[in-house]
Structure 1
Amino acid sequence: MNPMKTVAAAALASTFATVVFAANPMVGGAPMLETKNIVENAVNSADHTTLVAAVKAAGLVDTLQSDGPFTVFAPVNMAFAALPDGTVETLLKPENKGMLTKVLTAHVVAGDWSAADIAAKARAASDGFYHFKAVSGDALSAQVKGDNLYIYDENGNAGKVTIADVDQSNGVIHVVDAVLVPK
């Protein structure tokens, strides 16, 4: 065996492994592995403990572990904390499961949409907004401002995409800094 080919192959394999690992950003202090599904990755993010608790309370774990693909705009804990006092506690009560499910599914879109794809649609739109539907049936809009992508809910509230293109085995997560609230 040629030692130069062995060294070159090892260097190439090492570089490829680094590139593959580097493809997904860390979220909430944890690596997000493309081989894991949305729920398997989200439970490891320290920034998404409220979202994970809400997904469990709404009974959406199995759905978000299914094949998808799904695009999830995942609000961080601080986004939930910014809601009016008592909102999260109220939503997590068993009698409000339907309302909680609607709020959470207003953050999910069918398909695997990269931030670049969403931004391109927004830039191409005559009004500067890409209008689309969440799986809840609620309207969402995307707009590009400078280098930032914003997702708007039906009430006109915007969540800035702070970490984009976190690939999952069943879709993609875009971390947002606000909760998208349906009407």
Structure 2
Amino acid sequence: MKTKNLLLALSIVGFLSATSCKSAKTEEVNNVKKEVVAKVEEKVQTPNIVEVAVGNENFSTLVAAVKAADLVSTLSLDGPFTVFAPTNDAFAKLPEGTIANLLKTENKATLTSILTYHVVSGKFDAAAVVAAIKANNGAFEVTTVQGGKLVASLDGESVILKDEKGNTSKVIMADVAASNGVIHAIDSVVMPK
């Protein structure tokens, strides 16, 4: 995929180079070429959400769950997505045996539901989340990819998520950039109804 994008960029640059010879606006064309190359290089160099998670040892349980639920290709799509990603410590708070049970083939639908409950369509960095909370009288409800709702609020300067069961989780690391969205690490697993 990265090679395709790079080849496409080089083709566009080649085309623009040929065009620039015939054009009186050589400087303008050169600026466009630079922008195209910069955008493609950025996309090629920035890992997607799954690649970011794989590269961070704090998300190894999440990565194992994403693989077991066959969500790797979905979370590698263009998106954009905002992922509230439970850390390994967050998963460790679940009752003993929960993770092992969820990773079983027969529980794939339940695992998929839980994981997609942590994903919101669109890219919402920390500033956007905080602004939405403040603009909505201190509580902002978002619909997850799973279809359930999460309510974001503030506790001091920390963003808190409340799930449909009334459990809460705190964002402990915000704005981890990915090519197809953003990741916010959370300290507890949130659960749909």
Question: Do both proteins adopt the same fold according to a TM-score greater than 0.5, normalized to the shorter chain?
Answer: yes
Residue 150 of structure 2 aligns to which amino acid in structure 1? L
Structure 2 equivalent of residue 152 of structure 1: 162
Matching residue within 180, 189, 192 for 1:170:
180
* 3-state SS of paired residue (2:55): coil
Q: How far apart, in 1, do the equivalents of 2:191 and 2:96 lie?
A: 15
Q: What percentage of residue pairs aligned between the two structures are identical?
A: 53
Q: How far apart, in 1, do the equivalents of 2:76 and 2:106 lie?
A: 24
Residue 94 of structure 2 aligns to which amino acid in structure 1? L
* 3-state SS of paired residue (1:144): strand
Which of structures 1 and 2 has the larger relative contact order (alpha carbons within 8 angstroms, sep 6+)?
1
Structure 1 equivalent of residue 78 of structure 2: 67
* 3-state SS of paired residue (2:114): helix
Matching residue within 42, 59, 62 for 1:51:
62
For the Cα contact (< 8 Å) 1:34–1:168, is it kept in 2? Answer: no
Q: How far apart, in 2, do the equivalents of 1:73 and 1:112 lie?
A: 11
Runs of 4+ in 1 over 4 A off after TM superposition: none
* 3-state SS of paired residue (1:40): helix
Q: How far apart, in 2, do the equivalents of 1:34 and 1:124 lie?
A: 35
Distance change >3 Å, CA 34–CA 163, structure 1 → 2: farther
Q: Are residues 1:79 and 2:87 paired?
A: no
Return the TM-score normalized by structure 2.
Answer: 0.76
Structure 2 equivalent of residue 93 of structure 1: 104
Q: Give the RMSD, CA atoms, in angstroms.
A: 1.2
Distance change >3 Å, CA 147–CA 34, structure 1 → 2: farther
Q: Where does structure 1 lack aligned partners over 5 or more consecutive residues?
A: 1-32
1:160 deviation in Å? 0.7
Q: How far apart, in 2, do the equivalents of 1:34 and 1:50 lie?
A: 25
Distance change >3 Å, CA 34–CA 124, structure 1 → 2: farther
Aligned length: 150
* 3-state SS of paired residue (1:160): strand
1:107 deviation in Å? 0.2
Q: Deviations over 1:23-56 (max 9, x none)?
A: xxxxxxxxxx971100111101111110000000
Distance change >3 Å, CA 122–CA 34, structure 1 → 2: farther
1:153 deviation in Å? 1.0
Q: How far apart, in 2, do the equivalents of 1:105 and 1:43 lie?
A: 17
Give the structure with higher Rg (CA): 2
Distance change >3 Å, CA 110–CA 171, structure 1 → 2: same
Task: Flag the structure with higher helix content.
Answer: 2
